[in-house]
Amino acid sequence: MTTGQALEPAIRVQGIEKSFKDLHVLRGVDFTVSAGSIFALLGSNGAGKTTLVRILSTLLKADAGTATVHGFDVAAKPGDVRESISLTGQFAAVDEVLTGRENLVLIAKLRHLTNPGAIADTLLDRFALTEAGHRKASTYSGGMRRRLDIAMSLIGNPPVVFLDEPTTGLDPQARIEVWQTVKQLAGQGTTVLLTTQYLDEAEKLADRIAILHEGRIIQNGTLSELKQLLPPATVEYVEKQPSLEDVFLALVGATGGDRTDDDRTDDPVPARKAPR
């Protein structure tokens, strides 16, 4: 307790409620996310994940309850919260008319950073988009667009990053690329709150997992804590069959041979390693 700053949770949500007319989307949500961790908010479609993310990123006001992000109250100090976060929404928020590089320069300028061009070039390189950097974003594949989207979110190194269903609609290779990025981020001390409806995604990435159901968090814990909720595992002998995903990834290569950009020189993760 000597350095309160370090122990202060990056996100603290207390009793958040939100209704849209008669629809009670959030009915009192509580959780905390410790700094530098990956927190997965798991829930089916319509569980209120996006609503919660929109409240935490100051796009929507809660009806009741309080939330602080990076120590700032989202209702009282939205400006400070916006300085501390970045949001990657459910649909890739890139400007399709601009090139990939112009998109990055635009965000760097809006974050009032010096030398936006250099920042853009660094990120293009890091996300394997250097070749595509001078093409319009409308010509990008789904995976490239998502990479650009996440790259735009990282400009200015915000301490808290919200990823709302970051891999929905992506092919398996692109999913793995996003996962690698998220792990890298957390490795650098960034707090990541991600929402997902894919159980395996939460299992692979998250330090803690919360299940949002009917407007409340019904469980919150580490993966092993959640697993203990069920009766202990029984030992069964099952023939190990490769899953279709294993086959697919083995055939096309884990990061894909047909990517338009292959200059992943500084990629810290071995390119061919399957995630399992």
Interface residue list for other proteins (CB under 8 A): 54, 57-61, 79, 82-83, 85-87, 89-98, 102, 106-107, 109-112, 149, 152
> Is residue 266 classed as helix, strand or coil in its secondary structure?
coil
* Least distance in angstroms from the C-beta of 67 to other proteins: 14
For other proteins, which is the closer residue by CB, 99 or 196? 99
| Strand order across the beta sheet in which 38-42 lies | 85-88, 160-164, 191-196, 38-42, 208-213, 216-221
CB of 251 to other proteins, least distance (A): 33
Closest CB to other proteins among 79 and 257? Answer: 79
Pick the closer one to other proteins by CB: 93 or 223: 93
- The residue (of 109 and 264) whose beta carbon lies closer to other proteins is 109
Q: State which residue, 106 or 254, has the beta carbon closest to other proteins.
A: 106
Alpha-carbon span 239 to 113, nearest angstrom = 55
CB of 160 to other proteins, least distance (A): 11
CB of 119 to other proteins, least distance (A): 14
HSE of 178, CA atoms in CB hemisphere, 13 A:
30
Which residues of the chain form beta strands (DSSP E)? 11-20, 23-33, 38-42, 64-69, 72-73, 85-88, 160-164, 191-196, 208-213, 216-221
Contact residues for 79 (Cβ-Cβ < 8 A; gap 6+)? none
C-alpha dihedral (102, 254, 248, 45), degrees to nearest 10: -50
Nearer residue to other proteins within complex by CB, 97 or 218: 97
CB of 82 to other proteins, least distance (A): 4
* Shortest CB 227 distance to other proteins, Å: 34
| Strand 191-196 versus strand 23-33 pairing type | unpaired
- Report strand pairing: 23-33 vs 11-20: antiparallel
Give DSSP secondary structure letters for 35-88.
Answer: TT-EEEEE--TTSSHHHHHHHHTTSS--SEEEEEETTEETTT-HHHHHHHEEEE
Tell the smallest beta-carbon distance from residue 86 to other proteins (Å). Answer: 7
Residue among 34 and 90 whose Cβ is closer to other proteins? 90
